[in-house]
Structure 1
Amino acid sequence: MSRRLLLLRVIVLVTALLGINYVTWRWLFSVHWSAWWIAVPLVIAETYSLVDSLLFGMAMWRLKERGEPPPPIPDATVDVFITTYNEPIDLVRGTAVAAVAIRHPHRTWILDDGNRPEMGRLAEELGIGWITRSGDWAGMPRHAKAGNLNNALQATDGEFLLILDADQVPSPDILDRTLGYFTDPEVGLVQTPQYFVNVPEDDPLGSQAPLFYGPIQQGKDGWNSAFFCGSNAVIRREALMQVGIARYVHEVGVGVNRALRSARSVVARARKELGPEETAVAKALDEVLYDVNRARREIARGEALLDVTYRFQHRIGEIRRRLVAEDMQLVAADLEVISQLEGLAEASDQSLATVSLESIDRVTARALSPLGAIETVEALVRAVDVDRSDEAMPIMPMATISVTEDMATCMRIHGLGWRTVYHDEVLAHGLAPEDLESMLTQRLRWAQGTAQVMFRENPLVQKRLRWPQRLMYFATMWSYLSGFAALVYIAAPVVYLTIGVLPVQALSSDFFLRLVPFLVVNQLLFFVAAAGRPTWRGQQYSLALFPVWIKSVTSAFGNVFLGRDLDFSVTPKVRKEDERLRWDLVRPQLIAMGLLTLAAVVGVVRLAVGQASVLGTSLNLVWVVFDLVIFSVIIRAVRYRGYAPETAEAPEAPDEPDEPDGAAGTALPPTSPASEGDR
């Protein structure tokens, strides 16, 4: 065990003990219940941040620094996929030329979801493949990038896939540095960092993520939970196809089970409507119910769906044929009765119509066997869409449950027992958004996709995942709930400074003796984990983007549970030529800054006139100043006019890699050292 890892584990233990002690004490002894409307939200927010801190500490407990990779597999066949939709041709050209220059033998493909003839000409010029959507996708859900990749998987056959976004220019040795991990037959994916070359040193939009593509991914790697981040990753085709097949079987199984549950309800309802004399029919329906339950048990045991449904349909067919034969005998007897009645009618000069109606009433007064129910059972099971006619492809290896396909796909890969690797070396260089609107679009899409996965396939209930894996995935999803906690951290000092309501019982020595050591050790954990990486910008944006995080969760909830549309936007790769200062994009943050400033002024006035305590006012003024410093990043972001290489040197690739953010930081009290709110 390295000294750094040993130190991290000691700090993690101390942080956990101090944090649990503080939050437990807060709940039991210091909540100001008479002001519950602010006191309870604050202690809930602190509890949220403690959980965030504990999850981060768990990741750091197994932080893995892999060092030099194994030598590559010499005869591995590789397809290099460059995904594009509407990016400029010249941008894709740069990535494609670099992909062709990769030293390990491979085939390069442009996956052109925009189906542009000029992109086809570029591919022909470079001597590489050009894949567009097949005709099967016409009129079907396209599933954005996931659909683009799934379509390409059907047209290629390499053992391994290197996936690159259109702006991610690979190094010539990217395959030489990653393929060696696949000598382990259980490794299904190797993820490398994303690093952006068009970012100034002060990183005004928080594009570089030195914490996520560093200790956070390394910590997840230690728990076999490092996940796919959409680009700069090598994936074993077998793992992906296994995911697709397993998902297909699962979804067909869900359909069959749903059909069987409905069938059971139909038969049970028909059974209740039978009279006491209809014992033969009741027996037949009981047989159907037994077969429905037996089919469900066979599916639960893992028997082949084809065999189960075939046997079930065969047995139901036999019961139906037997009942039809019995009904035909009853119908023949009824016709005889009708004939006799009509003869009596002629003898008594009664109306034929009247006698016929009486005859029919007599016959139908005794219900025939409920063949309709049995036919419904057969139809329900036959109706299960094995071909998945609502999709262009029945088997979708890349997950389509989210606007971001990466996390859900990797979670399924882990669920099938595959291992993943995080290789901590920058092997591709990309482009970050160069304006605030594009950055907000990107962060919202990341957050919405993660929230969709949380609502649709919550890792905590995925039985195929080990518990550490469940928690590592959940940590990423949990971090996007920080927007709600941020609202409380902003409101608490405003409430005290303006109306004097304190959310704790008292600012006593007990309070400070528990809080201060926790904050100090918590920040020490953050500092040691970062290992010199610049993480301040990430801390700022974890709070400053609170409206984005809130919108991502609420919109994903509406999409998953209420069926509302969730717009998908590709992150622009070029700066929008708009000279306006887009203050409208950060209106909630500006309102928060205004409230904090106004509260500070009111607090000083209240202190001056003797309506507030020195200790309470001073503490909350420090809190306000901290929040304002955090929010100051949005002023820089609005005024940012894009990267100017002629006036600033392009940053060197760091010794330790970066990418979509991992740094956190809440307003006071910053009880969480790091989250993953920007991934």
Structure 2
Amino acid sequence: MTISALPSNLTRLDGRGHAVRAAETSALFVLVAVCATIGVIAYMLFLLNPANRGDLLPYGMVIVAESVLVLQALLSMWTILASGYEPRDFAYHEAKRQLMARDDGRGDDTLHLDSRPLLIDVFITVYGEAPDVVARTVLAAVALRGAHRTWVLDDGQSDEIRRIAAEHGAWYVRRLSSHGAKAGNINHALTIAKGELFAVFDADFTPDPDFLIETVPFFTDSNVAFVQTPQAYNNLHTVISRGAAYMQSVFYRFIQRGRNRFNAAFCVGTNVIFRRAAVDEIGGIHTDSKSEDVWTALTLHERGWRSVYIADILAVGDAPETIEAYSKQQLRWATGGFEILLTHNPLSPRRRLTGDQRIQYLVTATFYLTGIVPALLLLVPPLEIYFDLRPMNIGVTAVTWAVFYAGFYLVQVVLAWFVVGSFRWETLTLATVSFPIYAKALWNVICGRDVGWHVTGSGSRRSPFDFIVPQLLFFAFLGLTSVVAIARDVHNGTLALATAWNLTNTLILAAFIGAAFRERRRPPRPLAALPTADAPRPITVVARPLPASDSSRSPAPSGLRAEDAR
């Protein structure tokens, strides 16, 4: 897979088919963002107006839900309006100009920074992904411009993956146990690899040849701990993969860019390059959470290190294609956010963060609450249909409600249009129906439960309906409610707003369940076998590439004898 294979709505290509730098925030986009902000404020003032208040129960549910959504929207708009910040300064461009200045034309492609040769490691973390997927990533990683060593860190303990690493010229590492999951895998590799910088790619993310060329020059600033690039996806052929990918578009195109201004852009676990000294200072990649990426970034920011985010697409991977994969991915991500909120509150005076960083990490920690509150809004129309309990005063007409509601939601749809080029119903669907996942994540954190580690891009081994029981129950309830509502409106001779609202929610759930039916008919993609708890675990294995590999790209690791690397 290449960058040029991306859909045109995700990146812009130059004449050679390579991704080019993301465009600056346009003046029109800023105008739409300002209008969206005004719409958010107007909607909240409308809801809080005592003259518009309806029955206590549904009104309270609406206020709680919309307050969470409005607060997140306002903070997001603030961050988006800061996204014009350009992290590439004069020092970056000068460092990039000298990066390969010493290439003598004889194949020496050593990268230099501040006139020093760099030793760079590239880690590919593997845990049961399909061999063809891993092979694609290894081949691309080895081919990165600039001398480096590529390491395949295999927690899946697969001899097939070991063979792939050797054939493509990469070092192979298999450790004693899988303690610490992905973070532990990386930390173990850091005891063997000794590069000054190290990049990390998930097994299903294929890097662009210029990844190192575009990111390494930032490290001319001695305060930079890591440089993060976006996640982009090429497998947008299911409702789930499209919805999961488009849900992140605004975040990667604008939110992360805006966080540069506040030194609060955080790591997302892949397509990132770290300064070894910074990670060593904090004791390695964070291992006490399955969201090791955000926690590592938070710890680095608390130590005063700087992060950099660039919106250039320099790696392409696989979005979760199945409901199972999506559910496990979102559960893991949400758990990490709630862990920060409940165990490491960014607003605490004990946190060594700037005011801006506190706000940005608070947004991160509370973001997945926006995924829980749709459950409250789904229940508001049935309260009116069955019990005649209305969230708004009966004097508020449907037209008035629609005007303010559109000011909040419709303008944000327009904002999203600027990002992905069209309205994506898949995103609306997943945002509405994912509340059981996020509620479970919050409950797990409160109870201290471990969610385990799962491969994000894996094919489903179980029926998708095993993972959507709450959604099925809601669909049955809302479907019955719609029948009751329609019968009532026919009797009254008018269409009520609650009926239209409930029908809309029912159709959204129906679309999601329809995707589950299509998924069940589709054969799952095979996975490599994972080690079981009872399987014998070998001692740590470090295998070097086959002799035919390019020795200039894969020199022997520092401190490792040739006889140890068998």
Query: Normalising to structure 2: TM-score of the pair?
Result: 0.76
Matched position secondary structure for 2:468 = helix
Q: 1:411 to 1:507 in 2, by over 3 A?
A: farther
Matched position secondary structure for 1:98 = helix
Matched position secondary structure for 1:230 = coil
Q: 1:41 and 2:65 equivalent?
A: no
Identify the residue that residue 445 of structure 1 maps to in structure 2: 332
Q: 1:629 to 1:530 in 2, by over 3 A?
A: same
Q: 1:15 and 2:39 equivalent?
A: yes
Structure (1 or 2) with the greater helix fraction: 1
Q: 1:223 and 2:111 equivalent?
A: no
Identify the residue that residue 226 of structure 2 maps to in structure 1: 189
Superposed CA deviations along residues 174-231 of structure 1, whole A, max 9, x for unmatched, are: 1112112222322222111222222227665623132222122223233322211110
Q: 1:210 and 2:228 equivalent?
A: no
Identify the residue that residue 366 of structure 2 maps to in structure 1: 478
- Opposite residue 566 of structure 1, the aligned amino acid is D
Q: 1:639 and 2:518 equivalent?
A: yes
Aligned counterpart for 2:453 among listed residues 569, 573, 580? 569
Identify the residue that residue 596 of structure 1 maps to in structure 2: 478
Deviation at residue 126 of structure 1 after TM alignment: 3.5
Structure 1 window deviating more from structure 2 (115-124 vs 205-214): it is 115-124
Aligned counterpart for 2:203 among listed residues 162, 166, 174? 166
Aligned counterpart for 1:419 among listed residues 306, 314, 318? 306
Deviation at residue 96 of structure 1 after TM alignment: 1.3
Matched position secondary structure for 1:189 = strand
Identify the residue that residue 148 of structure 1 maps to in structure 2: 185
Identify the residue that residue 138 of structure 2 maps to in structure 1: 96
Identify the residue that residue 82 of structure 1 maps to in structure 2: 124
Q: 1:237 to 1:643 in 2, by over 3 A?
A: farther
Whether the 8 Å contact between 1:162 and 1:234 is mirrored in structure 2 is yes
Identify the residue that residue 549 of structure 2 maps to in structure 1: none
Aligned counterpart for 1:31 among listed residues 38, 41, 53? 53
- Opposite residue 204 of structure 2, the aligned amino acid is D
Whether the 8 Å contact between 1:215 and 1:529 is mirrored in structure 2 is no
CA distance in 2, matches of 1:577, 1:585: 12
CA distance in 2, matches of 1:408, 1:81: 19
Query: Normalising to structure 1: TM-score of the pair?
Result: 0.64
Q: 1:203 to 1:133 in 2, by over 3 A?
A: closer
CA distance in 1, matches of 2:450, 2:240: 29
CA distance in 2, matches of 1:204, 1:496: 35
Whether the 8 Å contact between 1:31 and 1:40 is mirrored in structure 2 is no
CA distance in 2, matches of 1:115, 1:98: 22
Q: 1:541 to 1:13 in 2, by over 3 A?
A: closer
CA distance in 2, matches of 1:469, 1:642: 44
Superposed CA deviations along residues 236-275 of structure 1, whole A, max 9, x for unmatched, are: 112212222xxxxxxxxxxxxxxxxxxxxxxxxxxxxxxx
CA distance in 2, matches of 1:233, 1:126: 22
Aligned counterpart for 1:624 among listed residues 480, 499, 502? 502
Identify the residue that residue 493 of structure 1 maps to in structure 2: 381
CA distance in 2, matches of 1:106, 1:58: 39
Query: Which structure has the larger Rg?
Result: 1
CA distance in 1, matches of 2:133, 2:281: 33
Q: 1:120 to 1:587 in 2, by over 3 A?
A: closer
Structure 1 window deviating more from structure 2 (223-232 vs 118-127): it is 118-127
Q: 1:545 and 2:423 equivalent?
A: no
Identify the residue that residue 238 of structure 1 maps to in structure 2: 277
CA distance in 2, matches of 1:176, 1:642: 40
Superposed CA deviations along residues 333-354 of structure 1, whole A, max 9, x for unmatched, are: xxxxxxxxxxxxxxxxxxxxxx
CA distance in 1, matches of 2:200, 2:68: 35
Identify the residue that residue 528 of structure 1 maps to in structure 2: 415
Aligned counterpart for 1:105 among listed residues 147, 151, 157? 147
Deviation at residue 6 of structure 1 after TM alignment: 4.3
CA distance in 1, matches of 2:243, 2:167: 37
Whether the 8 Å contact between 1:224 and 1:419 is mirrored in structure 2 is yes
Superposed CA deviations along residues 53-85 of structure 1, whole A, max 9, x for unmatched, are: 212222122123649884274313211001112
- Opposite residue 152 of structure 2, the aligned amino acid is I
Matched position secondary structure for 1:537 = helix
Q: 1:433 and 2:328 equivalent?
A: no
Matched position secondary structure for 1:178 = helix
Whether the 8 Å contact between 2:122 and 2:141 is mirrored in structure 1 is yes
Matched position secondary structure for 2:327 = helix
Identity %: 29
Q: 1:46 to 1:163 in 2, by over 3 A?
A: same
Q: How many residues align?
A: 472
Structure 1 window deviating more from structure 2 (105-114 vs 636-645): it is 636-645
Identify the residue that residue 469 of structure 1 maps to in structure 2: 357
CA distance in 2, matches of 1:190, 1:531: 26
Deviation at residue 157 of structure 1 after TM alignment: 1.8
Q: 1:485 to 1:576 in 2, by over 3 A?
A: closer
Q: CA RMSD in A?
A: 2.9
Whether the 8 Å contact between 2:83 and 2:254 is mirrored in structure 1 is yes
CA distance in 2, matches of 1:180, 1:412: 23
CA distance in 2, matches of 1:483, 1:499: 26
Structure 1 window deviating more from structure 2 (543-552 vs 199-208): it is 199-208
Deviation at residue 409 of structure 1 after TM alignment: 0.6
Matched position secondary structure for 2:307 = strand
Matched position secondary structure for 1:443 = helix
Whether the 8 Å contact between 1:111 and 1:130 is mirrored in structure 2 is yes
* Structure 1 gap segments, 5+ residues each: 245-396, 560-564, 646-679
